[in-house]
Structure 1
Amino acid sequence: MLEALQTLINPLVALGGLALCFGGLLGYAAIRFKVQGSPIVDQINDKLPQTQCGQCSYPGCKPYAEAISNGEAINRCPPGGEATIAALADLLDREVLPLAADAGDGQPAKKTVAFIREDECIGCTKCIKACPVDAIVGAAQQMHTVIESECTGCDLCIEPCPVDCIDIVEIKQPWQWPLPEQTFQKPGMIPVKQI
């Protein structure tokens, strides 16, 4: 009887030892290889312009990336524009949408940039440090200026300016000649077809 009991106990001890080893290994792997955050949120965040401007109605790009991963619209980022919307749509396999007209403060989206009144600038470099896209150039004790093509109009440079010499201005779109078919839109007129 003792021999029969011992032949039964030996496999149970072996199985218990294996279960303990594999359980410890799985516990270690769960801690060691734990994924911080969501990988899709990180991929979405990498596509956003990182201006942290809040024009999407979220306090920064990472919270907006989290909202997008939860199903929020991908077209609320004015600094990123159509290129970012297309990249997000490609990443998430969604439809490309035009930029939301009410992105940000409820007003129609307008292209704005920072403008430094250079005669008032004291060259403190605080605006340069605050600019998330490096659109402001200048040196200490020298006047600064904004590279218009790089500026996203996020207005993060306004708050740190001690002399209040920065304005956010709307970029006026240059006038363009209308296309020929647009010139004949009056009732009764036939548009001229291009050959």
Structure 2
Amino acid sequence: MTHPQTLADRIEDLLPQTQCTKCGYAGCRPYAEAIASGEAGYNQCPPGGEEGVARLAALLGKPVIALNPDNGVERPRPLAVIDEQLCIGCTLCMQACPVDAIVGAPKQMHTIVAELCTGCDLCVAPCPVDCIAMVPVTGAATGWDAWTQPQADAARMRHDRHTARLAREREAAEARAAARRAANHTAAAGAPAAGAPASTAPAVDDAEAKKRAIIQAALERARKKKEELAALGQGPKNVDAVSDDVQAQIDAAEARRRRLGIAPEGASGPPAPDAPSPQTTPKR
């Protein structure tokens, strides 16, 4: 008796790898596993058509039966075409494409890489402006007559890479979320006590890096605003004689910037050591 996993491998090799989900499963591999386990019929793949059913029947030692109409009909292979004048760059089609056959960027025009498209239709439904059409490109040829084994093998490889990339992105997102939670927990708990485990260091470093980035962005906005005002002859006033309270706030701000490793505007080289804390409490 053939081992189910080995059988699933052999079934998958006979599928067209369009990853269209018309079989009722998330892709060709899950469908192959479902056939191997007896959960799914071997006549549920419209892109494979009648020849696909015959291939699977021969492998399984079963009779050739009609394609299940509930899963769709055999048809000429279509190609997705984007009306680039209507595309709004929402990226939803890119996210839906199982073989990364769509090129674009957020709020930029998208386009289909024709030789990579499997005609799966999955990009059509998510499009909010209905700018994607499926255009038949194989004439009267349908099923495996409209698709070749090299095309199927290439689509399978792209889908595997696509799946692996999504898994890496999920893992990275989960790691970032965990780091944020750890940083928030550390901040809420206060400074770690002496002898605390070193495992909290990455979370603290992440929080400090985020804080520095926020402050640096604010300083950059302030610098640009200062330049704009200076160009209009509206520079700051009363800079020659400031009160003790204002000077204390300036000193405190400079000390915080040095602690965070942010050099004063126009300065170069490593940050200076911390200045002594001002005696006057800065105003809020």
- Normalised TM-score (structure 1): 0.49
- TM-score (normalised: structure 2): 0.36
**Larger helix percent:** 2
